[in-house]
């Protein structure tokens, strides 16, 4: 009897090991009646463009078992890509992967992008007309690179016909459960979660409490933090943000002072600067683009803010000269 679900799995260079391992282990638990790891109810093939091993961002190395271009796409329901750490470097893989991905899509295989693999699908034109979920750290970068695509905020994954995108991390478990439930039934999809020490699966729209540093503060502050992330690159003022929360700026500042030890404006600037720092260290984008993405105006203003906060120039920060 053939498996209920068949997956072709492609880790991209410098892929993140956490979502890859989490997704694959969830498949393993659901694939057999006991914990024997036999691929009975779901099957998968680990492939690459060559038979060379693929390094993860952590330095761990995974050995593939097949060359993807030599496989018959009719044997698979899903092609799952696990993205690399550097979003733009992943997008630049498009010339190498485009023919394979288009052949899979033409054969009716559903394309799944986990983490930064969404950048690759978008660069290949395979997300046109579809909404996209990316890791929150890469939302601004994705929007700037692919302004014609709609990014869904604060979602773990999104399933839309033959295109599926996932933010990465442990959200890969939630996505795996949903795909397995659709193919094998809910009971089999949930099998093994206790072994993985996972209490329960999360809905695709689950809001991460860990994005709210410190926790325990008021609802207004939590909503303000979500709005700040949402409007990171926009010129929205603190007064407008407070109005959206139906409170005064003084009330908002008072709550931020109590929970974060600084005003709402100061916290929003810190949020922008930390994102700019991360982008400087993890992308090749210029200062002007990063400044626009994080709502700090232009390259000159970004440079001044970086020097004031981190005690070095943006170039020195990018080169790792500052610890901050």
Q: Rounded to 5 degrees, what angle do the CA atoms 168, 173, 175 make?
A: 75
Query: Rounded CA gap, 127 and 165, in Å?
Result: 9
Which tokens in the block code for residue 161? 């016909």
Q: Residue 15: what are its φ and ψ, rounded to 5°?
A: -65, 155
The pLDDT of residue 312 is 92
Which tokens in the block code for residue 56? 């993860």
Query: Rounded CA gap, 60 and 220, in Å?
Result: 42
* pLDDT (mean) for 94-113: 98
Judgement on whether residues 43 and 158 belong to the same structural domain of the protein: yes
Q: Residue 5: what are its φ and ψ, rounded to 5°?
A: -145, 135
Which tokens in the block code for residue 251? 């009330």
Total structural domains within the chain: 2
Query: What's the predicted TM-score (pTM) here?
Result: 0.78
Average per-residue pLDDT in the chain? 91
| CB 41, CB 180: distance < 8 Å | no
CATH of the domain at 151: 3.40.50.880
The pLDDT of residue 208 is 66
Q: Is the pLDDT of residue 114 over 90?
A: yes
Range of the domain at 82: 5-190
Tell me the Ramachandran region of residue 49: left when phi exceeds 0, alpha when psi lies from -120 to 50, beta otherwise: alpha
The pLDDT of residue 225 is 86
Residue where a domain stops, chosen among 190, 223, 239? 190
234 against 158, higher pLDDT: 158
The pLDDT of residue 181 is 96
How would residue 209 be classed by pLDDT, with cut points 50, 70 and 90? low
Query: Rounded CA gap, 114 and 125, in Å?
Result: 17
Give, as one character, the DSSP assignment of residue 118: H
pLDDT digits (tens, 9 = 90+) for 168-196: 999 999 999 999 999 999 999 999 999 99
> Does a structural domain hold residue 149?
yes
Judgement on whether residues 176 and 60 belong to the same structural domain of the protein: yes
Picking from 84, 109, 108, 114, the residue whose alpha carbon sits closest to that of residue 96 is: 84
Q: Is the pLDDT of residue 303 over 80?
A: yes
Query: Rounded CA gap, 12 and 295, in Å?
Result: 31
236 against 184, higher pLDDT: 184
How would residue 285 be classed by pLDDT, with cut points 50, 70 and 90? confident
Judgement on whether residues 160 and 228 belong to the same structural domain of the protein: no
Q: Is the pLDDT of residue 210 over 90?
A: no
> Does a structural domain hold residue 162?
yes
Picking from 273, 321, 264, the residue whose alpha carbon sits closest to that of residue 297 is: 273
How would residue 138 be classed by pLDDT, with cut points 50, 70 and 90? confident
């Amino acid at each position: 009897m053939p498996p209920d679900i068949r997956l072709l799995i492609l880790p991209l260079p410098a892929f993140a090991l956490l979502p890859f391992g989490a997704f694959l282990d969830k498949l393993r638990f659901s694939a057999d009646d006991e914990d024997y790891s036999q691929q009975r109810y779901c099957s998968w093939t680990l492939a690459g463009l060559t038979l060379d091993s693929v390094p993860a961002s952590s330095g761990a190395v995974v050995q593939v078992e097949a060359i993807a271009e030599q496989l018959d796409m009719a044997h698979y329901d899903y092609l799952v890509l696990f993205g690399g750490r550097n979003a733009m470097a992943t997008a630049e893989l498009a010339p190498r992967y485009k023919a394979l991905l288009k052949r899979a899509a033409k054969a009716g295989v559903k394309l799944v992008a986990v983490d930064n693999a969404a950048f690759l699908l978008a660069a290949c034109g395979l997300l046109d007309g579809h909404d996209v979920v990316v890791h929150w750290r890469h939302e601004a970068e994705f929007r700037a690179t692919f302004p014609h695509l709609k990014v869904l905020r604060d979602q773990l994954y999104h399933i839309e016909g033959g295109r599926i995108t996932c933010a990465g991390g442990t959200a890969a478990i939630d996505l795996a459960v949903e795909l397995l439930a659709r193919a094998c039934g809910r009971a089999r999809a949930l099998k093994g979660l206790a072994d993985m020490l996972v209490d329960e699966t999360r809905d695709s729209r689950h809001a991460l409490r860990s994005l709210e540093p410190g926790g325990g503060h008021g609802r207004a502050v939590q909503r303000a933090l979500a709005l700040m992330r949402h409007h990171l690159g926009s010129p929205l003022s603190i007064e407008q943000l407070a109005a959206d929360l139906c409170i005064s700026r003084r009330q908002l500042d008072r709550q931020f002072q109590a929970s974060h030890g600084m005003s709402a404006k100061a916290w929003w600037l810190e949020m922008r600067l930390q994102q700019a720092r991360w982008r400087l260290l993890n992308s090749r984008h210029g200062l002007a683009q990063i400044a626009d993405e994080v709502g700090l105006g232009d390259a000159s203003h970004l440079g001044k803010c970086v020097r004031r906060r981190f005690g070095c120039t943006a170039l020195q920060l990018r080169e790792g000269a500052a610890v901050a």
